[in-house]
Structure 1
Amino acid sequence: MTYEGVLTKMQTELGNPIQYYLVFENSFLNLNQLLDKELEITFQGYQCLNCGKKKKIFRQGFCYDCFMSSASAGDWIMKPELSTAHLAIEDRDLEYEMKVQLQPHIVYLALSSEVKVGVTRKTQVPTRWIDQGAIQAVPIVEVPNRYLAGITEVALKNHFADKTNWQKMLKNEVPPTDLLEERLKTEALLPNEVRNYFFNQEAQLYQMNYPVLNYPKKVTSLSLDKTPNFQGKLSGIKGQYLLFQDGTVFNVRTFEGYVVRISI
């Protein structure tokens, strides 16, 4: 069987284990069903996720021009503390920025490699944590806009990691940690503007279980630019990565906007 289309990040469904889907224009693949099967991935070209043109992908699935101009690729995406929509100040497109920034956001602790702090829109719970490969996560505060979430993250970054060690995450090298206890430590570290938002009720601990048959001891990243054709046996899916039996790992999100053919 063969599937063809533009790569976008895998769609997920919280379950035990999490269900993963690759969605193409005219078809979709439930990847869980492909565990322990041989897959062949062949790179065929590019298609910008924003303009749809067959231009080389620069970053986040966008060609260079779209990445530099699109409202959905502004600096505030990666650095929420730079959000200005709450002040009615435009970065690239105020209407879009107000829609995205002026909605409830969650600042959280997640356990993917070590304890990390992060920000997500409330509507992205628990998708954001699954995409990071977190095995557990707990919300710290829910705030009404992205700016407040951003300054909270900045304050907590002095005490917690803010990036996932992807190699440790994929090898499942995660130290046992009491996230609820770690969360209690954050209250004293919060900026004054968000202290009133601290969840005083019992915080919900989310658990994520991934469809992995066995975790690799060593990992090697597959780059479609360097290896346009790859064949291997799928042994697991975690975060936005496909894990293969030989230790090769493929970050689907990194190659958004790449046109591929997948043969099973």
Structure 2
Amino acid sequence: MQYEGVLTKMQTEYGNPIQYYLVFENSFLSVNQLLDKNITISFVDFQCLNCTKKKKVYRQGFCYDCFYSSAAAGDWIMRPELSTAHLGIADRDLVYEEKAQLQPHIVYLALSSEIKVGVTRKTQVPTRWIDQGANEAIAVVEVPNRYLAGITEVALKNHYADKTNWRKMLTNDIEAVDLVAERLKLENLIPAEVQPYFYADKTDLYQINYPVLHYPAKVKSLNLDKTPVFEGKLTGIKGQYLLFEDGTVFNVRGAEGSVVRIDV
């Protein structure tokens, strides 16, 4: 069978294991059903996720113009401490920013390589952790806006990584850590105005199982710009990556805005 469309991040369903879906305009593909099968991925074109024009993607699936103009690509997305909607101050579009920033946010610890601190909207739990390939994750605080989550993350970045080591994550080279105990160590590390929101007694540890037949010893990344046609046997799915038998890994989210054809 053949599927074609614009890549966006795989949609997920929490289960044992996680269920993954590639959703295109006129069809969708259950990726779990492709495990242990040969598939071919072919690059066709680019299409900006924002303006939908056939323009080369710059970042986050957006063309250059949209990345620097759209409210959906403001600096506060990657750096939540820069959020200003709680002050009534716009970055690019106050209506959009109020909707996105003035809602409950979670600051969390996740274990995808070593311990990582991060921020997500409450509505994105546990999706955010699945997308990062975390084996375990736990909330630290739940705050009413993105700014408070951002300043908490900044404070904790002095003690924990804020990025995932994707190579270690994909080879499943992960240290054993008790996240519940780790959370109890950091109450005094967070800003004073956030301490009332600290999750002191909850045992809401998420454990996540991915559909992986076997993990590679080493990984090499597939870049569709350099390799426009790739064929391989799918042996796993973790985070937003497809894992192949020969050690090739494909970051679906990193290729957002690429029009691809998938032959099964």
TM class, shorter-length = over 0.9
Cα distance in 1, alignment partners of residues 108 and 186 from structure 2: 10
Q: Which residue is 2:172 aligned to?
A: 172
What is the 5 A alignment of 1:196-215? 196-215=196-215
CA contact (8 A) 1:4 1:261 kept: yes
How many residues align structurally?
264
Cα distance in 1, alignment partners of residues 81 and 58 from structure 2: 24
Cα distance in 1, alignment partners of residues 253 and 32 from structure 2: 18
Q: Which residue is 1:3 aligned to?
A: 3
| Paired AA for residue 8 in structure 1 | T
CA contact (8 A) 2:32 2:211 kept: yes
Q: Which residue is 1:87 aligned to?
A: 87
Aligned CA RMSD, in angstroms, stands at 0.5
Report the TM-score, using the length of structure 1 for normalisation.
0.99
Provide the secondary structure at the position in 2 that maps to 1:69: coil
Q: Which residue is 2:139 aligned to?
A: 139
Provide the secondary structure at the position in 2 that maps to 1:86: helix
| Gap runs ≥5 in structure 1 | none
Provide the secondary structure at the position in 2 that maps to 1:72: helix
Instruction: List structure 1 runs of 4+ shifted beyond 6 angstroms.
Output: none
Cα distance in 2, alignment partners of residues 187 and 249 from structure 1: 38
Q: Which residue is 1:108 aligned to?
A: 108
Cα distance in 1, alignment partners of residues 99 and 196 from structure 2: 24
What is the 5 A alignment of 1:7-22? 7-22=7-22
Cα distance in 1, alignment partners of residues 185 and 90 from structure 2: 35
Cα distance in 2, alignment partners of residues 9 and 253 from structure 1: 5
Q: Which residue is 1:193 aligned to?
A: 193
Q: Which residue is 1:50 aligned to?
A: 50
Quote the offset at 1:195 in angstroms: 0.5
| Gap runs ≥5 in structure 2 | none
Residue 104 of structure 2 is aligned to residue 71 of structure 1: no
Cα distance in 1, alignment partners of residues 158 and 34 from structure 2: 41
CA contact (8 A) 1:139 1:203 kept: no
Q: Alpha-carbon deviations, 1:25-45, whole Å to 9, x = none?
A: 000000000000000000000
Q: Alpha-carbon deviations, 1:186-224, whole Å to 9, x = none?
A: 101010110000023323000100000000001000000
| Paired AA for residue 237 in structure 1 | I
| Paired AA for residue 237 in structure 2 | I
Provide the secondary structure at the position in 2 that maps to 1:202: coil
| Paired AA for residue 23 in structure 2 | V
Cα distance in 2, alignment partners of residues 133 and 91 from structure 1: 31
Q: Alpha-carbon deviations, 1:215-257, whole Å to 9, x = none?
A: 0001000000000000000000000000000000000001100
What is the 5 A alignment of 1:149-164? 149-164=149-164
Cα distance in 1, alignment partners of residues 67 and 255 from structure 2: 15
Report the TM-score, using the length of structure 2 for normalisation.
0.99
Residue 220 of structure 2 is aligned to residue 223 of structure 1: no
Residue 260 of structure 2 is aligned to residue 260 of structure 1: yes
Q: Alpha-carbon deviations, 1:156-199, whole Å to 9, x = none?
A: 00001110000000000001110001111110101011000002
Provide the secondary structure at the position in 2 that maps to 1:235: strand
Cα distance in 2, alignment partners of residues 168 and 39 from structure 1: 25
Cα distance in 1, alignment partners of residues 180 and 118 from structure 2: 15
Q: Percent identity?
A: 76
Provide the secondary structure at the position in 1 that maps to 2:43: strand
